[in-house]
Each structure stands twice: as structure tokens, then as C-alpha cells.
A and B are shown apart, each in its own frame.
Chain A
Amino acid sequence: MKTLQDILQPQNLVYTKPTLMNDRPMHYCPGCSHGMVHKMVAEIIEEMNLTDHTIGICPVGCAVFAYNYLDIDWIEAAHGRAPACASAVSRMWPGHLVFTYQGDGDFACIGTGESIHAMNRGENITIIFINNAIYGMTGGQMAPTTLMGMKTSTCPYGRRADLHGFPLKMTEIAATLEGTCYVTRQSVHNVAAIQRAKKAIRKAFTNSLEKRGTSLVEIVSTCNAGWKLSPVEANRWMEQHMFPFYPLGDLKDTTEQQ
């Protein structure tokens, strides 16, 4: 029989918390995609050795406290203004990695103007866009990305075109803009997806450092609290309903051609 001490040996190490993640308990609901994406971002910054010249812009939304979890310099933007903030920071520190981390309400609703214009200017920034089709932080209201028929607290009988209009595909719009160099849609619902998403964020960060224009990484995400589903059910629901409308994969990659 091996004792615990026998097991706790460096050669047996298969997983460790990224050193850029603080020890503070996260406020995210169990099963929420935010936690997973935070960890990936921490790992990538660490692996790319960018800690001392990275500035993150956090949103208003469930990720508002990102600065409590990732040990880098942060600026918290007003709701939706992160791309304007990132534009200024990247121009003030042109050698730095500047990224925003935004929900669908932040990026694709109240901040639509700032999002489109920052991308269209080709700001050398990365936008990580957490699309959970709902306003998580304020308790589950309708988002611009809420699916047709989907129930939220402000469309309790389901989203209807005549009352609420249609879900907005900001990532598709981003792909049409000259200023974007890399536009991709990913998810973090299983190990393979996590690995693909991580590769995508790493590529986006590289583009930003190499000043190729704006990179947008949408992560189709779960909000099990807002959707009122268990973590497992939320992942299943996302696969069944979100992926058909928000198909995963690269929408644009100008960096491949070079």
C-alpha cells in the first residue's frame, strides 16, 4: 500500500494550479465556464512568460472580479467599455499584451459600439468573449445572444422575434471587419474542447503581440445558474441548443495565409 507521502512526489505530478491564480475562493457557480477560461488564461500568460507586460481589462458581468483571481495588472471597465479601454492601453503600452474578457451583455449589447469600432480599427488586442446567452450577474435576464424560444427572467415565456428580436451573432459580424485578423468560436465543455480553446487563446495572444490586428475568441459557455440546470445538464443543453446556432471553429484566420 502506498502512503500519501509516497504519492506526493514531483515525478507523480500530473496537474498543478497555475501560479498566476490566486488562492482566493472563486465566486463562480460550480459548473460555470468562467472558472475554466480564467484558468486557461492564467496558464497561457505564465507559459508565454508575459506576466510583467500583460494588462487585462475586465468587464461588468460575472467576471467583474477577475482581478481577484489572476495575479496580473487589471483595469476594470464600465459595462461594455472594455474594448475602448483596451484600445487606449494598447496604444499607451504598445509592447504589452492587452486583452479584454467580456460577457455577451457587455460585448454584444451595451458595448456593441465600442466592440465593433475597436475591432474595425484593428486594435492589437485580444477579446475573450464569454457567450452564455444570458445575463448571469444580474440574475438571468435576456441577453442579445439568448436563443429563440429560450426562457429567461425577462422573456419568461421564451424569446420571440416579435417581442424581442433575434439573437445577435457578433462573432460573425467581427469576421467581416477588416481590422480583425483571427476570429474563432470555441467551448470548454470537455477536455478536447479545452485544449482547442487554449490553443486559440494562445494564438490570439501571439497575434496581439505581433500587432496583426484584433483577435476575437468567443467561448460558447454555460451559465447553469441562469439556465437553471445542473452542471452536467447545462453542458448537454449547450451541445444540443447552443452549438447548432453558434457553430464552433475558426471563422477567420488571416495569420494562416502569411
Chain B
Amino acid sequence: MQQPQETMLLKGNEAIALAAIRCGCDGFFGYPITPQSEILETLCKEKPWETTGMTVLQAESELASINMVYAGGATGKKVMTSSSSPGVALMQEGITYMAGAEIPGVIVNVQRGGPGLGTIQPSQADYFQSTRGGGNGDYEVIVLAPSSVQEMADFIGLAFELAFRYRNPALILSDGVIGQMMEKVVLPPQQPRLTEAEIAQRYPWAATGRSKNRGSNYFTSLELHPEAQEKHNLHLQEKYARIRKNEVRYEEYQCEDATYLIVAFGSAARMAQKAIEDLRKKGIRAGMLRPITLWPFPSERIAQLSTQVKGILCTEINAGQMVQDIRLAVEGRTPVFHYGRLGGMVPTPDEIENALTEMIDNFSNENHE
């Protein structure tokens, strides 16, 4: 089944679908919503059930989709869903159950503006929903933020790898820009789906049917005795500490000599990179840190950089969400500003450039006082 790598011109949403088939995904369960319906549509057009045997099901709601992912993940299979903001809001029940019962699975959010039905235009306003846990209880979700169509394809495999390594839900937090734009992508080679024997051997915890040589495998997030529930919570916290230690991912752009730092993720990082190119032409030494994992957050690296730079600008397509994590990391060592557009409006590189110049002007005014 191994195919050579293939380069294609694809929308971000299409890249998600094709990469899912190629990474040996066993099941996709989803419900249409703009701006990500092409994921389900592409899968239906590709009909992988005839080739790799992958299941594709249009569920009756996002609530059903995520609960299908919950149970599908419990069988040890690679299962996923995708949606956009209002649909992901509906999925929060299933996500907290996955976290509680330690079930792996992948969720893709191609964000649009909110609150409520909001708009179908791009947004990054679900940062809190993703990194703070939109559901109930003390839990964390691994959050990957792609900033290119290539990363849409690459992060599917990575998300499954992390989800299974830690038995935890993993979320790809994309947005309408990345979902809809077309870029050249190198798709991964086709991986075979795991066989029943491979699943039983690799994932002895999975619900595969109780064989004679093991006891019952069951999945629950319920524990009526508070002592036992606290113990379970502490176990989860220990796991989250390991993820924080091992899985922080970020990318730096021209940070070596930077006196000003921009922190941006996803599509906002694309605009910020262009702004930095222009600022550098004007002699302003700006650099960028782009968190790839929004949880675990690259707090340590941002703390280090905060001692090197005169100020940090966080640009997001929201009213200021990630900026709070930056401030927590910086602990007042350097001023932190925010620039964002809301409700489906996307900041341009010019706007970001202006925001940074304004920040610098503020400093020089203060220094003269």
C-alpha cells in the first residue's frame, strides 16, 4: 500500500481529508458547517471505505460526532471529527468525557467568528475554548495550531501520534483562512490501517472484546468516591505535566537579534511574518515566536525571550486571548501589547506593522518623560 509522497495544490480542508486517509485513519464522524464542510465532502468523494476501509459517517449532530469519536477511540481505532466554532462548542461534552476516560481521538476546529452563530469568516476566538477546556472539570487538551496547508496535512498524523501516546484528545485549531486557502502540499505516503491483532497488542487497554487472557476493559469517567476521583485527577495532572515537559512545539523567525518580539499563531503568524519582513527593511529588528502547540504553551521560551526584547506584541484574530498566556509567562519582565481584529475581520500585515511601530513610539515617549 506504500505510495510515494505526492505534491498537490490543495485547500487546507482538503489536505486534512487526504492526510487523514493516508495516515491510516479508521473513522471520520462529522456534521457539515462552514468553513470546513470540504473535509467531510472530500472524504465522501474519495470513498476511502473502498480502499483503506476507513469509515466516513455524516452524523446527526456534532454531539453525536464527538460521542462517536469517544467510543471509536475507546476501541483503539484512529478516529476523528472536524467542525467549526459553534459545532465545537457542542462537542465540549464529549471532549471532557474523552479526557476523563483517557480516550485518544482527534478534533479539528476550522474557526469562524463568534459569539453565537457569529460569522462564517475566519477567527481565532476559540483559543480560550481550546486551551482552557470548554467542558467541565480539570482537564487539558493537546492543541496544535497549523499556519499553512502543509501543516494541516502534517498535523493530522502528529495529532494521532500524541493522542495515542498520552491517551488524550488532541485538537487541531485552524481557522477559515488556512481551511480555505490553497497551497502546495506534500502529502504523506499511505500508511496501512492497524489490524485487529496489532490494536490488541499495541493498545491492551482498548475495548476489543474481552479475551480469555485478560479481564474486562471498560471506559468510564465516573467515580463516586471523592478519594478515588482525586487520585484519578492527580494521575491526569501527572500526565499533563509530562506533556508540558515533552511536547512543547514552536517556531522562531528572526529572533536571534530581535529587540521586539511578535507572538502569533496560525494564520495570524502568516500576516505577522510579512509585517516583520517590512519592519526589518525599515531597520526595526523585529522577530516572531509562533507557538505550534497552544497547549502545552511555550511559556519557558517566551520567558527567556522576554529578557532579550524591549517589548512583545501579540497579534491574534480575537480580542486578546493568547496574550494572557504570554503575560503569565513574561511575569512583567517586559511590556506586552495586543493587536487583534474581531468578528471575522483579519488583520493585514500593514496593521500589524503599525501596531508595532505604535508600541515602539509609546516606549520612546515614556523614556522622554
Contacts and interface: CB of A to CB of B under 8 A. Distances in A.
Contacts of B75: 55, 88-89, 92-93
B210 A117 contact: no
Contact of B57 (A73, A75, A81, A87): A87
Nearest to A79: B93
Interface in B190-245: 196, 207-212, 215-222
Interface size, A (range) = 20 to 34
B216 A85 contact: no
B134 interface: no
Interface in B1-54: 26-27, 29
Interface stretch (B66-74, B263-271, B295-303, B339-347): B66-74
A239 B68 CA distance: 38
B67 A84 contact: yes
A51 B209 contact: yes
A85 B97 CA distance: 12
Interface string A42-80: 000000000111110100000011010011111111100
B94 interface: yes
B329 interface: no
A32 to B, nearest CB: 18
Interface residues of B, number: 40
Given A52-B211, A113-B63, A117-B60, A92 B72 contact: yes
A91 interface: yes
Interface in A105-130: 113-114, 117
A89 B72 contact: yes
Given A88-B79, A91-B57, A117-B60, A76 B207 contact: no
Contact of A72 (B68, B72, B74, B216): B216
Contacts of A96: 209
B83 to A, nearest CB: 15
Given A88-B69, A114-B63, A76 B221 contact: yes
B199 to A, nearest CB: 10
A86 interface: yes
A63 B214 CA distance: 24
Contacts of B101: 76
B210 A73 contact: yes
A59 B121 CA distance: 38
B71 A73 contact: no
A87 B14 CA distance: 26
B120 interface: no
A68 to B, nearest CB: 9
A78 B29 CA distance: 17
A231 B207 CA distance: 36
Given A76-B222, A78-B94, A91-B57, A85 B68 contact: yes
A65 B223 CA distance: 10
Contacts of A84: 59-60, 63-65, 67-68, 71
Given A74-B216, A74-B220, A113-B64, 20 more contacts: A55-B207, A67-B220, A72-B210, A73-B208, A74-B218, A75-B218, A77-B67, A77-B71, A81-B63, A84-B63, A84-B65, A88-B69, A88-B70, A91-B27, A91-B72, A92-B27, A92-B72, A92-B79, A93-B209, A117-B59
- In the A-B complex, list the 10 residue pairs whose CB atoms are closest, starting with the nearest: A85-B71, A88-B68, A117-B60, A53-B209, A74-B218, A67-B218, A81-B67, A88-B72, A84-B64, A84-B67
14 contacts: A52-B209, A53-B209, A65-B222, A74-B220, A75-B70, A75-B74, A78-B94, A84-B64, A85-B67, A86-B71, A88-B72, A92-B75, A93-B75, A117-B64
